[in-house]
Each structure stands twice: as structure tokens, then as C-alpha cells.
Chain A
Amino acid sequence: MPAIKERSHKAQKVLERFEKKLNRQIVGSLVACVHCGMCTQSCHYVLANPGDPTYAPAYKGDQIRKIFKRHFDWTGRVLPFWVKAKSVYTDEQLEELKDVVFGKCTNCRRCTINCPMGVDLATFNRMARGLLVSVGVMPEGVAVVSKDQWELGNQMGVLKEDYIDTLEWMEEEMQMELDDPQAKIPIDKKDCDVYYSINPREVKYDPRTIADAAKIFYAAKENWTMASEGWDMTNFGLFSGDDDLGGSVAVRLYEKVEELNARKLVISECGHGYRSTRCEGQNWGKKDVNFTMESSVITMLDYVKSGRIQIDAGKNDKIYTYHDSCNFARSCGMYEEPRELLKLVVNDFREMYPNRSENYCCTGGGGAMSMSEYSQRRLKSAKVKADQLKATGANVVVTSCHNCVDGLNDLIKHYKLGMEVTQLVNLVAEALVLEPRVAPEEIPAAPEAVPGADGLKGKKILVTDDEPDFLTFISTVLEDNEAEVIKASSGDEALKLAESEQPDLITLDLSMPGRSGIEVFETLRKNSKTQNIPVCIITGRPEMRKLIYDRPVPPPEGYVDKPADEDDIVLNIRKVLKAGHEKS
């Protein structure tokens, strides 16, 4: 390697690890680009930022390619200026590269399928992410999520007790809804036909999807189980480019399936989770498996087509369109099955154009939703998707990806499209026609009343946020659910009110002027008068979560990301109150 200038330790490590990451496919993509520019208009970043060539896929690829050329390609080694080959020397240059590979590309692969040469930018962009991650150069959110997945086994830092508690809560809700105490969410049951794995987002923000899936399995009389550990099918290794993390997470899941001797691993609707578990995990983890894997979309479609469940599409009476997740469609070929299922469970389906492998990214892919520093850029680039959604004339967009749900919700709100986002599991559950249950001979005891199950009546909640709009919004939501709300617009005020009012729960914003939410949280936990009050963090800065967990005090009981909708807030607050009630 040329020793022209002094190189930083991190830059040196990146170069040393570069060669180890190279395989024939990546090298082919690095040498074959002819700079024809055919990829340019295929990228949503380019389309939303006209006139800025730094968003062009070939330009972004060249920021990685130039390093490759300087160190591995003969022309670049001898005549670097001739092919614009350039090495990296400083940490600042690595930061610039980080901005490109994390902040200007969602690895959606749309440029790949539009490249005449077959250059796979998404693959070597991921490789570059992995190189940067290996030296600690990455967005804060990527670091936080990766850490959670390494340490806690899931990417949202869900604790085992919270997970189990959520499953039990959903089981109770299902039993009440179906009026059948035998409706179960089995955990760690051996020798099942179906092992159902989920996205931790479902536990944290959307437990309804777990209940809906359980209802469908119940209706299909499936022999199924969930696992107490190894249940997270998402894999941040795909986004961070860290193959070690990717392999470790995937193998953890595969081994649990083997331990329970399940015949089939069913992966809930999640684009990157499906791709990581079904298509990449075995390669990263270098592991062969003796069970089959499929998306829950296929499972549900089979149930409907085989008559195992009965459907009344009339129950879903809105206008629906379908958004193809990049990972699900463009990287795993899953186009037709979701459409087939959707057309069976709704009456009015409108196609989105372009679609299938040519669909535009939701703009939240590639881990973009966890990188808050690029939010403005992401939302600007989302204009392309917003226009595409609007043109469908639908009022509900369906997608088989949790990441897309968040990305789409965010852009729908930003561009004021007034659309809903939902998943197939919700629509199938909604359309289910359940057979009348035969009354059991013994009437089971009534389930124990769950506080707050019918609203938040009688609960005193202290809401803390410095944004007046959000404070009003959340207060209104809670008051509508019959809670007694006390408002605090600063940390100091919150501390005072917490002590004097002794609320049943405190919601806390993390980034507030003056005393930050993190300080307030620690003070609450250290004060004997407030330490037992459950706290639910509500913040638009997910990267600050790490700071909360790093404090030497017990973690918060709940966590909600902004933007949050009414359902998210109420569900999470009810969950926290219920957990607190059971603990007491």
C-alpha cells in the first residue's frame, strides 16, 4: 500500500479489512462500472434532489470504488489520477464515506436491476458499511441497535420479561375476543409444525399484529409455537454490513428452531427480516438447516386457498394498494403471493406503479429509520414515494414489511396524504370468519380484571414534554381514554409534580431544554418517593435510548418513538400499567 501520508488507525484498519471482504461478485461490480449513467434516474434520492450528482448511484459507488482502485486495481495503483483512484487517510474521510453509504443509499437495489453491466451497488455499499462499522464509524442509531441485538438478542432491546408479558397480554385479549380460554399463544412448545418468529417492533409498538397472527393460527387449528428466546427474525447485520452480527443473530434463531424440533420456521411480515433469515442468514452463519422457512404471507395464503380458514373480504371495505418492500420483492422475488392474498381478503385493490421489482423504496429501508441524523434527507427523498402513493387513489397502503410500515407512515404524515398503512396479517385477521365455538361443559373462571383494559379510567398520568403541540396531543389522547392528566413542560416541573402528585405513570421526553429527560429519569429513579413510578419514554431521538440504558438505574418500563400515533401511545401505556399492576 502506498505510504504517501500518515494514515489514521481507523483508515489503516479499513484498508486492511477491505481485501478480506472482497469476493468475485463484489470485485466484478467494482471493476465493471463504465460510468454510463443509466442508473442515475433509477434512484429516489436523485429524483428528489434534481441537479445534485452526488446522489447518483454511480457517484456514490465511486466513493467506495476509488479506494478499491487505489489499492487493488492495476491502473489505479500506477496512474491513480487517470481513474480517479484515491485512498483514505483520515477519520474525516471515513466520516464523509459514512455520510454516503449510510445517509445517501438505502441499499434498495433499484439501481442494480437498472444497470446494463449488472453492477450491484447495494452489495458493495453494504460491504463498505461493514468496513466502517468494524472501526466504529457509523450513525449513532446503528450503534445502539447493533448493541441491543448483540447483547439482548433483539434489535429493540426488548427484555425477556417484557416480551413474555406482551405475549400473555395478547393471549388474554385474544381469549376475551374469541370467548375461548383455550385460545393460546404457545411458548417453547416442542415438535410443532410452525415456529413463528416476529419483529421486536411488534412487541414494542404493534402487539396487535401478534394477536392477529395468533388468531389466524387459532382459526387454522395450527400446531404452532413461539419461542421464549431466539424469537427475533430481524437482523441488523443486513443494514450495518456486519456479517458476524448477521450470522450470530440468524444462527441463534435457527438453533432455537432445531432445539424445539419445529418443522417449519414462519417469518412474520418483515422485508429485511425475511431476507436476512430466509436468504442471507445461512450464508453469513455458514450453517445448513434441516427445517423449511417461509414467510407468513405464504402460510396465510395456503390457509385461505386450502380452506383452513374462511374469509369474508367484505369486512375490509376500503380501497387498498400494495407496496413491495425492496428486500421482500427485489431481493427475494416475493411479488405475486402478497398480491394474491390481498386480492382474496379485500374487494378493492389498486395496483401501484411502478411495482414489483421496479417499485420505489419506502425510503426508510437499509436501517434509515434508525438514523435520525438523516431524517430530513430521507423525508425529502420520500417525495417520489409520496407521489406514487397518491396516484393510486387508495386510502390504505398494505405492505409486508415493518420497516416499510414505519417509513410509509412517516412520509404519509410528512406529505399529509391521509392514508393508513397496514399489513396483510391485520387484513386477514379482520376478514376471518370464525366457526361458532361449541360451549365447553365447564365454564371457566372469569379472567382477572386487568386495570386499564377498558381505557385508562382512574389513572393519573404525568405527561412531560417541552413541545406544546405534542403535550396537547398526548394529553388529549389520554384524557379521551379517561385518564387524569397532569402536564409538565420541563424536567424540573416534572420532578416536582412527580413527587407531589404521585402519578400512576410518567411519560417523559428525552430531549428537553434545561434539565434533559435523561437526567430527570435518573433523578426519578434515585428518589425513594418516585422510584417505583413506571416511566414511559416518548422521544423522537431513538439514538438517545442507549444513554438511558447506560444509567446505573433500572431501565424505563416503556418506550415509544415519535412520531407516535394514538394507538401506539395508548397500547404502550396500558401495557406499562398492566405490568406495574402485576408486579405490585
Chain B
Amino acid sequence: MTGLIVGIGVILVVVILFTIFRILRLINIARGSDKKQASSGNKANAYLMLGFLIVSAILLTWYSVDEFETYTVPVASIHGVEVDRIFWITMIVTGVVFVVTQILLFYFSYHYRYREDRKALYYPDNSRLEVVWTIIPAIVLSLLVFSGWKVWTDITAAAPEDAEEIEILGYQFAWTARYPGKDDQLGNFDYRLIDAENQWGMDFTDRSSFDDFSPLEIHIPKGKPVLFKIRARDVLHSVYIPEFRLKQDAVPGMPTRFWFVATKSTAEMREETGDPDFNYHIYCTEVCGRGHFSMRVRLVVDELEDYMAWKAEQQPWLQANPDYLAKVPHDLKEVAVISAGLDQLENNQAEKEN
């Protein structure tokens, strides 16, 4: 019933609009205004051009100033500050061009609206002017590119030797991390070794794998270079941490990397943003399927000493999954048991039993 009423209402509105249209058309024909080169509508459009310029300039300024805090992301990495710097330089330079060209466009449209008594200026070209406004943008753009290029080469340069290596693995629809453990060496992997528990395809014929661990929550230190070694298991994903200005695709079959230095711990960011629930997250920015929008993991930035303490507490993966000792070659078994801390575990248990 409501559907019917709405339907009738819509039809009525359409009929009314159509009638108005017919009447206005007839009036125009009677006036003969449709025969003129520029009718009264011409003036109205000219004023609308000016009006649009003014109103949108006000809205733009108001929102950009008033909501500045809302739409900017606090920055928490060393290279992020540089990225922001060239972002805002570009914003100012292009902003000036934007404002000037838009004003000229709408002002010219308004000011040079049709008048019967005037003739347009025959002005087909001016080589000097054209050369000038080819060269000036070229110079300005070169400067922008050059400053961007310097930042880019710094960001993509090889990571420092002492960087904390962490492997980030993306899969539908979550992130997981693997840390190198006490030996500071991530073990080899092979995607054919992946199974329900061994999500990374850790290769236990490599002795570096024995002490690797994977925490539930990803921790990184503040003020120390961190190198993300990024992998994907199934489709493309992209590691994205807005506060660090960090983004790097995760590609199946082709590990990628990104290194950075975090400058604010989670606690500091909570203070800065005034949000006690603030947390860093790794998001996914490459469409990866149904759960793409919810693919994220929490990331905690600790002070260096807290991070070290946290790291020391972590249990090697092999320790929690001793079944995988079976995959370790015979000659390495002893090393594996020690590296994974399985011997201590046994001792502890033995002590408890005693």
C-alpha cells in the first residue's frame, strides 16, 4: 500500500515538473528569447560562476582550517616527518596555482560574459608568453621532484646493519609476524612447508629457524631502525601504517622490505592524541578479498628497554610446537632442542615433578 502511494506521488511530481517545463518553454518561444545569441540566462550563469567561486572558497577555507586536526594524521617516524614536509611544500606551491587559476577561470567567465556591443579580442598567440608559462612550471616541478627524489632515495636506501629484522606475513585476512629470536637471524622458509600450524613455512633444516618466534601482538622498539621483511602467502596485500607513513605491497613469491625508525611509543601517542585507547595498527591497502576491510593487526611501539625485555620473554615457536622437532635433521636435533629452549622446559618439568 505505501509502495503504491509513493509510486503515485512520484508520478505526480514528474507530471507536475513536465507541465512546468512545457509552460516555461512556451513562454520562451512567445518571448522569442530562444532565438537570441545570448538570452537573460547568460547573465544568470555569469553570476552563478562568481557565486560558485565565492561560496566554494569559503567552504574550502572553513573546512581546511577548522577540521585540520581531524584530517591530518600525527606522524611517528623519522622519514614520516620528511614525507610530511614535502607534502606540505607541494600543498603550498600547488595551492597557490590552484587558487590563482580557479579565480581567473571563474572571474573571466563572469567578467567577459556576452555583450552585444562588444567584440572579443582577436588574440591567437603570443610565443613569449607561452614559453614563459612552459618554463616556469617546468622549473617549479623540477624543484618539487628533486626534493621528493631525495626523500625517496633516503627511504628506500638499504637498512642499517643494526636494524631489528621482523618478518611480516600477510594472508587472507590477517597479518602475522615472525621474529628472528636470540640469533638475530630469520630462518629460511619454503611455501610448500606451510601447514595449519607452521604458517610461515619455516624450514627446520635451517638452524636459524629454531629460535624464531611469533607473538600474538607485534612489538617494535622506539628509536631503533626496524626492517620489515614483507611476504604474502596467497594474494597481494599491502602493509600500511598511517602514522609511520609506511606502505609496501606484500607480494606472493617476491619478498619486499621497508625500514623505518619509530619516534613515538604507543604511550606517547596516547598522550599526544588525547585518546587513551589509541593503538597503532597494520592495515591492508591492496584489495585482497572479502575481508580486506577488516584485515589488521595491532602494533605496539615500546621504549627500547621495554622492547628488549618483551623480546627476551618470548617463547620460540618450536618450543610451543615440539612436534616439529621431527622435521629437524638428526645432526641438528641437539642444537634445535637447545635453541628452542626445549631442554630448559624439560628440566623445569622434571624439577616440578620432583
Do these two chains really belong together in a complex?
no
List residues of B whose CB falls within 8 A of some A CB: none
